[in-house]
Amino acid sequence: MPEPVVIVGCGGHGREIFGIVAAVNDGHGDPWKVLGFLDDAPSEANLHALARLGAAWLGPNALLAELDAHFVIGIGDPRIRAAVAARLDPLGRPAATVVHPAATVGLGNQVADGVVMFAGARITTNVTLGRHVHLNQNATVGHDAVLADFVQVNPSAAVSGNCVLGRAALIGTTASVLQGRSVGAGATVGAGACVVRDVEAGLVVKGVPAR
């Protein structure tokens, strides 16, 4: 029987995750039954977009307390995702891990609850993904890398082997983090940047090399 799940966040990221669940349900994994979306303040544009998908806005995030369902946080900003999780975790509902059938997951990896992998995402071997890590389309993560809770790796970004990404770090679209480098908690690596030296917590870096 399909497991019930709700998606928290009606924006584009959440609706993309709705598509991942649909792909999983298309005979490619253990099925989910999407009950709908939770959002504290959905815009009219997002509600219209949900209607086009045939999906429903159920109400504010706190409604999760009344639902016997898993949840997945469909919010692309890692710091906001962490704040939402802090409010939802005390409700005791399990976080769903959702992996697109076109993602590639190698051997010996540790994948925590709430992880989302989009189409084309790839992790190789002995990778550790913390809670609510999101790997967007065609993002890659090399061997022995450690991604702490709430890390966001945007489309086509590359994290090399033996890298360490701190809590709620964000790696921008097409950016790369070279072998063995670390990116501190809450840091942002801009789109297209190349990290050749460690990035301290909370910094925003950009360019080639990133600085």
Read off the pLDDT of residues 54-68 as tens digits, 9 standing for 90 and up. 999 999 999 999 999
Kindly report the backbone phi and psi dihedral angles of residue 116, in degrees, each rounded to the nearest multiple of 5, phi listed first: -125, 130
Residue 67's alpha-carbon distances to 3, 5, 30, 73, 96, in angstroms, are: 12, 9, 20, 15, 14
**What span, in angstroms and rounded, lies between the C-alpha atoms of 76 and 112?**
18
**What span, in angstroms and rounded, lies between the C-alpha atoms of 68 and 121?**
30
| 82 close to 167: Cβ distance less than 8 angstroms | yes
| 147 close to 131: Cβ distance less than 8 angstroms | no
User: What mean pLDDT is predicted for residues 146-172?
Assistant: 98
DSSP 120-166: T-EE-SS-EE-TT-EE-TT-EE-TT-EE-TT-EE-TT-EE-TT-EE-
Question: What confidence score (pLDDT) does residue 196 get?
Answer: 98
Q: Are strands 152-153 and 134-135 parallel, antiparallel or unpaired?
A: parallel
Average pLDDT of every residue of the chain: 97
User: What mean pLDDT is predicted for residues 117-126?
Assistant: 98
Tokens of 32: 């989910």
Question: What confidence score (pLDDT) does residue 29 get?
Answer: 64
Question: What confidence score (pLDDT) does residue 1 get?
Answer: 78
Read off the pLDDT of residues 7-65 as tens digits, 9 standing for 90 and up. 999 999 999 999 999 999 987 666 899 999 999 999 999 999 999 999 999 999 999 99
| pLDDT(88) > 80 | yes
> Percent of the chain having pLDDT more than 70?
99
